[in-house]
A and B are shown apart, each in its own frame.
Chain A
């Protein structure tokens, strides 16, 4: 009995350590590039497109470019610029990739100037999903990352590393 109890406590601790370790390690290095917290949002039913957000710091001396990526869960990942002028929402691929200036950090966030676009999603993204992806840079090459999927409508800082994103319901409140 005692052994069983201790055993399960140890197992639980080990499990928690393991899982928290995994979520905490949500930063990636690729040469001089530091990629922080790739995340996405749950998408509505049947949706074919999703968006990805992250921060990239270029700690090197040379400029680089984020040119896009791929994921088994989507047909392709592209870098998009979005804007709203005169209440007209527009979105365009960033030709040649998103510039990463040495010493600077670029942030892709909801409502921001740029996002990654998951095109041709194989299935809608649900809160707490993990989306494996490869990000591609002009000079640094490519790196495998995982996008944490937060709730629909989640803002910046959502799906932070505590693993308890606000609104844990899947695919919105009515599904």
Chain B
């Protein structure tokens, strides 16, 4: 009886802590997109973005510093993901195509949350199915963890009964400006036109003055 009570209380505490961290993070950081300029919502945000060092499927070292100079669109995923990740990559491929030449002014980045299985060569094969401008990054589990922390991204390994596992992960696409500052996010539920507008605004607001 007592043990159960303690369990109950600790569950509540855990839930509250979870809510306090992720709830505040997610709600606080994802205000309703502003139509005019995604850069307008950078102030007052906990810093999304920060130091990381990973390697792309093309073999180049990519860090928060190498991304600077151009805006980027950063999201997290993994190749064993059956639906969300391929769909995000597929949609992003479509958006980049619609942007046309402007798409060269932005760096789209997928960071794996499953570095154990998503090696460089696995990512290289996987990315052949999508826009060649999208960089897929991997590294040691510690390096990936650092990147996830930099972007305040949640991910977790979930074991399955057969020894396999899947990953829970944040599915947001973060828009970062050319200085590496958070500049908004893409919501997969909003219409393609709205997402295109955000990307165009990001590129425009990020072009050198």
A89 touches B84 (CB 8 A): yes
Would you give the 0/1 interface string for A37-67, flagging 1 where the beta carbon is closer than 8 Å to chain B? 0000101111111110000000000000000
Comparing A27-35, A142-150, A167-175, the segment that makes contact with chain B is: A167-175
What chain B residues lie within 8 Å of A118 (beta carbons)? 82
* Residues A87 and B170 in contact, CB atoms below 8 Å apart: yes
- How far apart are the CA atoms of A48 and B83 in the complex, in Å? 12
Binding site for B on A (CB under 8 A): 41, 43-51, 76, 80, 82, 84, 86-93, 110-111, 115, 117-119, 152-153, 171-175
Alpha-carbon separation in the docked complex, A80 to B168 (Å): 13
Is B20 an interface residue when CB atoms closer than 8 A count as contact? no
Instruction: Name A155's closest neighbour in chain B (CB-CB).
Output: B87
Q: A46-B122, A89-B169 are in contact. List 19 more A-B contacts (CB 8 A).
A: A41-B86, A44-B86, A44-B130, A45-B125, A45-B127, A46-B125, A51-B83, A76-B162, A82-B83, A86-B23, A87-B26, A89-B170, A90-B158, A91-B82, A111-B87, A153-B86, A153-B90, A174-B129, A174-B132
- B169 CB contact (under 8 Å) in A46, A88, A172, A174: A88
A93 to B166, CA, bound (A): 10
A80 to chain B, nearest CB (A): 8
A47 contacts which chain B residues (CB < 8 A)? Answer: 79-80, 86, 126
**CB–CB B164/A119 < 8 A:** yes
Report which residue of A80, A118, A153 has the largest number of chain B beta carbons within 10 angstroms of its beta carbon.
Answer: A153
A44 touching B84 by the CB < 8 A rule? no
Q: Which of A45, A49, A93 contacts B81 (CB 8 A)?
A: A49
